[in-house]
Amino acid sequence: MANYQDILKQIAELQKQAEEIKTREKSSVIKEITEKIAQYGLTAEELGFSSKGGSAAKKPVRKVAVRYRDAAGNTWTGRGKRPSWLVKELANGKSVDDFLVG
């Protein structure tokens, strides 16, 4: 009866074999797919790819409301790194609350 370590070794060996087989088969699969695309005149959009090269199922970008504004009109949503205008104001003794939008 095999013990735990023996099973782990077998798993590692099988994973290695699977990767080797995948590598060997990859070029023929690519060739076959390329031929089918050409044969049927398929487009990237039909295959689920956007024409811009990104994912076709991108999440919509949500606008984040401005939470902070200075007298010069500089804004910050409160997310990410503090902008340089706010850092300067804080160094001059102001508080973040001084710039809160209504």
Overall pTM > 0.75: no
The 10s digit of each residue's pLDDT in 49-76 is: 876 655 556 678 888 899 999 999 999 9
- CA distances 73 to 15, 37, 70, Å, are 58, 53, 5
Query: What distance lies between CA 90 and its chain's CA centroid?
Result: 34
Nearest-angstrom CA–CA distance, 66 and 73? 11
Nearest-angstrom CA–CA distance, 82 and 68? 11
Compute the mean pLDDT over every residue in the chain, rounded to the nearest whole number.
89
Q: Residue 55's pLDDT is what?
A: 53
CB 54 within 8 Å of CB 60: no
Cα distance from N-terminal residue to C-terminal residue, the chain = 72
The 10s digit of each residue's pLDDT in 25-43 is: 999 999 999 999 999 999 8
Which percentage of the chain shows pLDDT scores above 70? 92
